[in-house]
Amino acid sequence: MRMLINSPQTVVADALRGMAAAHPELDVDVERRVVVRRDAKAGGRVGVVSGGGSGHEPLHAGFVGYGMLSAACPGEVFTSPVPDQMVRAAAAVDCGQGVLFVVKNYTGDVLNFEMAAELAEEDGLRIERVLVDDDVAVTDSLFTAGRRGTGATLFVEKIAGAAAEEGAPLDRVAALARRVDECSRSFGVALSACTTPAKGSPTFDLPDGELELGIGIHGEPGRERRPMMSAREIAEVAVGAALEELAQIGPADGPVLALVNGMGATPLLELYGFHAEVARVLTERGVPVARALVGNYVTSLDMAGCSVTLCRADEELLRLWDAPVRTAALRWGL
C-alpha cells in the first residue's frame, strides 16, 4: 500500500478534518459528513446540494462555496452517502426557496437521494433532482442503469450554482441543470487501475502497456482494452465518441465547454499535452471551444488516465459558466 493515510477506516473522516482545518469558510461536520458553505442561509437563495462516494476529490466538497454548491455529502470511498446526510445538508441550506439535488447516475446514489428527497419533502422542503448521466462509454454498468455520471457533474454544479447565486427560482435552476446534463457527453480512459484504501490492491488488473477505453470513475469496465495508444489516438477516440452522441441530440449549433480531466495520477504535464490533441480534434471537426478547463477535478483515487467532457453551451450557459465562483477547487472572477 502506497497510501498516505492513518487507516482505511478513517480516510474520509481524516480528509474532512483536513478540509475543516484548511477552509475556515466551510462548515464541516466531520461526524455526520456534511460540508456546508457557512453563508448558505444568508442569501435567501435556492440551495444546490450534491454528494457521492469519496475518492473523486475535489468533487464534490471541493466545489462547495460561492456560486457553486451550497453543501456536499461525502460517502465512504466509492460508496453512496446515506439519505440522512442529504436530508441534513438540505435542511442546513434551505432558505424556503427549495433545494436542488445533483445526483450522479449510480444506483446507490439515485436510490438514496430519492429517499432523501421524500424525507425532506415530508419536512416541508421543496426538492428538485437532476440526474447526471454523461458518460457515453457504456449503457448499463457495474453500478448503473443507463449512462454513468462523470465529468459533466462539474458543469452541472457550476452552472446550477451560478443560477442559484443570481437568485433564480428552483424550477429555473433545475431546468438549467437538466439542460447542461442533456448537452454534455464524456468519455474516459484508464492507463492504470486505482487502489481503494479498504482493498489495498488494484481494483482491477490492467497490465502495463494496455489501456481501457471507456473506463468508469470507479474502474468499472469500459468498451474495450487495447495496447497502449498515443495521446493523439486517445483524443480521436474520446472526442469522437462524445461528439457522436452529442450529434444524436441535434445538429451542432455552437461552441462547447471542454473539460480535460485527470483521473488522479496522470501528471498535469501530460494532461496539457492531451488537451492540445483534444483541441486539435475539435478544431478539425469544426467544433469551436468556447472555454477549456484542464486538471484533476473528477478523479478516481490514484488511477492514471483521463476523461474528456464536452458541453454544448449557448450564450446563457457560457455566461453562467463565466460567473464568479469561489470554492476550494474552482475559483474565478472574485
Length of the chain: 334
Considering CB under 8 A, how many residues would be counted as binding its own copies?
Answer: 67
Q: At what angle do helices 231-247 and 268-284 cross, to 10 degrees?
A: 50
Closer to its own copies by CB, 172 or 232: give it: 232
Given 23, 60, 218, 275, which residue is catalytic? 218
Nearest approach in angstroms of CB 280 to its own copies is 8
Give CA–CA dist 42/25, Å, rounded. 13
Q: Is residue 55 within the footprint of its own copies (CB under 8 A)?
A: yes
130: closest CA among 46, 38, 49?
49
* Contacting range for its own copies; rule: CB under 8 A; set: 104-112, 114-122, 246-254, 269-277: 269-277
Residue type, 108: G
- In the residue annotation, 275 being an active-site residue is answered as no
Q: Is residue 320 within the footprint of its own copies (CB under 8 A)?
A: no
From residue 285, give the alpha-carbon distance in Å to each of 134, 172, 236, 240, 277.
21, 33, 10, 9, 12
Give CA–CA dist 126/2, Å, rounded. 45
Nearest approach in angstroms of CB 238 to its own copies is 11
Nearest approach in angstroms of CB 303 to its own copies is 9
Q: H or E stretch including 248?
A: none
Q: Is residue 246 within the footprint of its own copies (CB under 8 A)?
A: no
CB 97 within 8 A of CB 170: yes
CA torsion sign, 79 to 263 to 101 to 334?
A: positive
Nearest approach in angstroms of CB 302 to its own copies is 5
Q: Is residue 323 within the footprint of its own copies (CB under 8 A)?
A: no
Q: Is residue 63 within the footprint of its own copies (CB under 8 A)?
A: no
User: So which residues are the catalytic ones?
Assistant: 56, 218
Would you tell me which residues interact with its own copies (CB under 8 A)? 1-7, 10-12, 14-22, 54-55, 57-58, 62, 77, 189, 191-192, 208-209, 228, 230-232, 234, 260, 264-277, 279, 289, 292-294, 296, 299, 301-302, 304-306, 326, 331-334
